[in-house]
Amino acid sequence: MLENADLGKLIIRLTLGGLMLFHGIAKLLNGIGFIEGELASHGLPTFLAYGVYVGEIIAPLMVILGYQTRIGALLIIFNMLFAIILVHGNELLSLGRSGGWALELQGFFLFTAVAVIFLGPGRYKLKN
């Protein structure tokens, strides 16, 4: 049987980091006005919206490269908790149109980042 835990960890890191990075690139191209509006509607300072670049660009790159992977995963967790609380709080216990959990994507990012914290980067990483 083929077994390579380090390759599995790499695949998880590339999946989590790569898919999250697409969200960050979209915000680079389209701006963060929506996030600023959500923060303002909750009485929070709008400059906090720039944190999305940390959570959706810097942290995913850390996870992809295996550089300070656990810190990168923790940043993704904070990013997802903010997204769930600010934008998706009313959907927490809802079903989506296809019958699954309405927050499947957010849950994937959140819980996969938690798994990466416990698993660590594995052997295939940048030396740090």
The predicted-structure confidence for 76-90, as pLDDT tens digits, reads as follows 999 999 999 998 887
pTM of the model: 0.93
Give the model's pLDDT for residue 128. Answer: 63
**% of the chain beyond a pLDDT of 70:** 98
> Which among 39, 79, 32, 83 has a CA at the least distance from the CA of 59?
79
Residue 86 CB burial class (10 angstroms; 0-12, 13-18, ≥19): middle
How far is residue 86's CA from residue 51's CA, in Å, rounded to a whole number?
A: 14
The predicted-structure confidence for 17-64, as pLDDT tens digits, reads as follows 999 999 999 999 999 999 999 999 999 999 999 999 999 999 999 999
Question: What DSSP line would sit under 53-98, residue for residue?
Answer: HIIIIIHHHHHHHTSSHHHHHHHHHHHHHHHHHHTSGGGTT-B-TT
Token pair recorded at residue 56: 């959706």
Taking the CA atoms of 58, 63, 66 and 67 in sequence, report the sign of the dihedral they define.
positive
Q: What is the average pLDDT score of the chain?
A: 93
